[in-house]
């Protein structure tokens, strides 16, 4: 087993904190939707975002492996015109589920179905909104 040097990011794609409102519902699982009480789309807040996935906060205990249909509007204040706003429709798989406090949960999602245009828009958003790294030595 290799040691990770301190501060090294093990993610394949850069991720930044983001706080967009999004809606999601379970894709293709009526039984799971009913057992969780998710008969309609749920509105929640995104915690972070990359072109490969995101984390959201929710009150629902969504199990790993569940497929979510996610919709949100990506707004990049660094762009103008049509590039400033993009409606995203993405399908992703739940890969982690952690209790935050009370009923709040942090759900990690890996994108399974995302257009190349949406990936590129997210990459640009991450690049444009990245804070300068701390210069620790």
Q: What is the pLDDT along the chain (137 residues), one digit of tens a residue?
A: 334 344 444 557 888 999 999 999 887 666 666 666 666 788 999 999 999 999 999 998 999 999 999 999 999 888 777 777 899 999 999 999 999 988 899 999 999 999 999 999 999 999 998 876 644 44
Q: Is residue 27 part of a domain?
A: yes
Q: Whole-model pTM?
A: 0.80
Asked, for residue 134, whether it belongs to a domain, the answer is no
Q: CATH number of the domain at 59, please.
A: 2.40.10.220
* The pLDDT value given to residue 87: 95
Residue 22's pLDDT is 95
Read off the DSSP letter of residue 102.
Answer: T
Q: According to the model, what pLDDT value does residue 122 have? A: 95
Number of domains in the chain: 1
The pLDDT of residue 127: 92
Terminal CA-CA length for the chain: 25
Residue 8: inside a domain, yes or no? no
Whether 30 maps to a domain, the answer reads yes
Residue 137 resides in a domain: no
pLDDT value of residue 86:
92
> Is residue 24 situated within a structural domain?
yes
DSSP 8-state symbol, 66: -
Q: Which domain holds residue 107?
A: 16-129
The residue among 17, 24, 15 whose CA lies nearest residue 44 is 24
Task: Report the helix count and the strand count for the chain, using DSSP H and E.
Answer: 2, 7
Query: Is 62 inside any structural domain?
Result: yes
Q: Is residue 3 part of a domain?
A: no
Spatial distance between the Cα atoms of 58 and 105, rounded to a whole number of angstroms: 5
What is the predicted pLDDT for the residue at 78?
A: 81
């Amino acid at each position: 087993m290799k040691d990770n040097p301190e501060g090294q990011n093990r993610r394949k794609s850069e991720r930044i904190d983001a706080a967009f409102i999004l809606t999601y519902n379970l894709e293709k699982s009526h039984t799971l939707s009913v057992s969780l009480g998710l008969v309609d789309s749920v509105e929640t807040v995104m915690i972070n975002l990359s072109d490969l996935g995101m984390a959201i906060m929710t009150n629902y205990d969504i199990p790993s492996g569940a497929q979510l249909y996610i919709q949100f509007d990506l707004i990049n204040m660094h762009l103008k015109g049509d590039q400033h706003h993009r409606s995203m429709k993405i399908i992703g798989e739940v890969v982690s589920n952690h209790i935050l406090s009370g009923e709040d949960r942090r759900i990690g999602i890996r994108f399974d179905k995302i257009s190349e245009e949406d990936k590129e828009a997210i990459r640009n958003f991450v690049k444009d909104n990245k804070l300068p790294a701390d210069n620790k030595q």
